[in-house]
């Protein structure tokens, strides 16, 4: 085994070697600008972008011109929310989202409130699911859009986006989902799931950092957010800026591999996570989030009266896992997601998150279980000494 063992795949994933190999020529020999197609340099780049765009759009059952490349899910979320609320201002000023969203939705929603928009933050049950009747009740004739994430980055809960999208469409409301944790991990179909806008990111599926996409529905209904970046009018004038060709090529390869290996990977991860959860429960661990409707590579757990940070410090040289969400580890506040589930603040502080990934091995999983069990024993012993 190589140490430290990486088990934080919700924060980011390592680049797959096959993805890097595909990208390499586009850093050097094939450096052209995909918009400068008066010569072969630009043409080669444009062809590579087209091919990647096809792979990405097919993977989510979209058309190639419905994919807008961005720098990642954060930018896609900003574009989706700000661009749509601005574009359809004549329809109203109301946005509906949820308290357990990623900061890249919540902070945008807060910003929109400062410029006069109305935001409803739906609550969740103890598993992290919204109540569809509450959603229906929240919709008014001023509601422009609903934004609900597909899979939660902390607790892994997968929500029924198809039903949410159906409600949105029945009410003529635009439906956006942050699917950064879902695309490449569970099957996503924008048609079947009634999705109008969808954010996703390459580095959450063994692709490079700094490249992502926003799916933008072309028909029934046609949606077109206002740009937040203006300039060279790339990406149908929705997102200006010279295309990140190596990133896009890598993104295409990463999603192709992810779709091809998804079923086998999920069977493997399910077996491992069930084993981990069972062994943690035997030593008093409690699973956060949904017992079944969850990403199979996610384990969010707490051990009563044992500080998650203490466990992490104990095993840090050998295993890399996270406390709560990666984005809030700097602050001392308990995770907003765990609190939203109704957990007591003192318990929320105890949580640890494990994210299994493509290159983990059975030996590493067994080692994780052993390390955490030993750490729990040590920490309990210190407490009682
Ligand atoms: C990682 C993540 C983001 C941010 O994506 P970037 O590509 O890093 O900007 C947004 N939402 C969710 C749910 C995520 O997991």
pLDDT digits (tens, 9 = 90+) for 225-265: 999 999 999 999 999 999 999 999 999 999 999 999 999 99
**Ligand 1: does its nearest atom lie under 6 Å from the Cβ of 178?**
yes
180 CA distance to ligand 1 centroid (A)?
Answer: 5
Domain harbouring 225, CATH code: 3.40.640.10
107 CA distance to ligand 1 centroid (A)?
Answer: 13
In terms of domains, do 276 and 249 share one?
Answer: no
Residue 384: the pLDDT is 81
- Residue 98 appears among annotated catalytic residues: no
Domain count, the chain: 2
In terms of domains, do 283 and 324 share one?
Answer: yes
Work out the pLDDT band at 325, boundaries 50, 70, 90: very low
| Secondary structure percentages of the chain, helix, strand, coil, to 5 | 45, 15, 40
Taking 90 as the threshold, does the pLDDT of residue 326 lie above it?
A: no
Domain boundary among 204, 238, 255: 255
In terms of domains, do 309 and 160 share one?
Answer: no
Residue 330: the pLDDT is 56
Residue 279: the pLDDT is 97
In terms of domains, do 158 and 55 share one?
Answer: yes
pTM of the model: 0.97
Backbone angles phi, psi at 337, to 5 degrees: -70, -50
Token digits for 111? 């910003």
In terms of domains, do 212 and 342 share one?
Answer: no
Q: Find tokens 């190589």 and name the residue.
A: 2
Sequence-distant (6+) residues with CB within 8 A of 58 are: none
In terms of domains, do 68 and 180 share one?
Answer: yes
CA gap 306, 269 in Å, rounded: 26
Domain harbouring 304, CATH code: 3.90.1150.10
What is the residue with the minimal CA distance to atom 3 of ligand 1? 73
Sequence-distant (6+) residues with CB within 8 A of 33 are: 41, 42, 45, 242, 243
Which domain covers residue 202, as residue numbers?
Answer: 17-255
CA gap 100, 121 in Å, rounded: 9
Q: How many helices (H) and strands (E) does the chain have?
A: 12, 12
Sequence-distant (6+) residues with CB within 8 A of 381 are: none
23 CA distance to ligand 1 centroid (A)?
Answer: 22
DSSP 90: G
Domain boundary among 255, 273, 297: 255
Catalytic residue among 327, 369, 371, 379: 327
What is the residue with the minimal CA distance to atom 12 of ligand 1? 180
Give the pairing type, strands 67-70 and 94-98: unpaired
pLDDT in tens, 341-383: 999 999 999 999 999 999 999 999 999 999 999 999 999 988 8
């Amino acid at each position: 085994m190589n140490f430290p063992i990486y088990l934080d795949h919700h924060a980011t994933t390592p680049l797959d070697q096959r993805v890097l190999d595909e990208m390499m020529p586009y850093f050097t020999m094939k450096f052209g600008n995909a918009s400068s197609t008066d010569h072969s340099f630009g043409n080669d780049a444009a062809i590579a972008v087209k091919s990647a765009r096809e792979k990405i759009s097919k993977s989510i059952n979209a058309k190639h011109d419905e994919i807008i490349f961005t720098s990642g899910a954060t930018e896609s979320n900003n574009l989706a929310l700000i661009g749509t609320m601005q574009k359809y201002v004549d329809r109203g000023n109301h946005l509906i989202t949820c308290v357990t969203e990623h900061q890249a939705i919540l902070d945008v929603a807060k910003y929109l409130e400062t410029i006069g928009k109305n935001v409803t933050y739906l609550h969740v049950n103890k598993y992290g699911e919204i109540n569809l009747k509450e959603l229906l009740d929240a919709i008014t004739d001023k509601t422009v859009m609903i934004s609900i994430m597909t899979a939660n980055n902390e607790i892994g809960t997968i929500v029924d986006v198809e039903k949410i999208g159906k409600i949105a469409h029945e009410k003529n409301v635009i439906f956006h989902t942050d699917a950064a944790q879902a695309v490449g991990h569970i099957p996503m179909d924008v048609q079947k799931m009634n999705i109008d806008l969808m954010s996703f990111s390459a580095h959450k599926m063994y692709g490079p950092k700094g490249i992502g996409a926003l799916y933008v529905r072309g028909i029934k209904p046609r949606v077109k957010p206002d740009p937040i970046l203006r300039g060279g009018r790339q990406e149908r004038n929705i997102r200006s800026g010279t295309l990140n060709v190596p990133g896009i090529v890598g993104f295409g390869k990463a999603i192709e591999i992810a779709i091809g290996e998804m079923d086998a990977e999920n069977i493997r991860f399910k077996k491992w996570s069930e084993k981990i959860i069972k062994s943690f429960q035997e030593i008093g661990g409690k699973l956060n989030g949904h017992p079944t409707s969850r990403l199979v590579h996610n384990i969010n757990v707490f051990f009563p009266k044992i500080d998650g940070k203490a466990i992490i410090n104990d095993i840090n040289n050998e295993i890399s896992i996270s406390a709560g969400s990666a984005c809030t580890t700097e602050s001392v506040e308990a995770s907003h997601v765990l609190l939203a589930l109704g957990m007591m603040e003192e318990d929320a502080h105890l949580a640890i998150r494990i994210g299994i990934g493509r290159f983990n091995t059975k030996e590493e999983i067994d080692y994780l279980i052993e390390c955490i069990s030993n750490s729990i024993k040590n920490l309990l012993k210190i407490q009682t000494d």
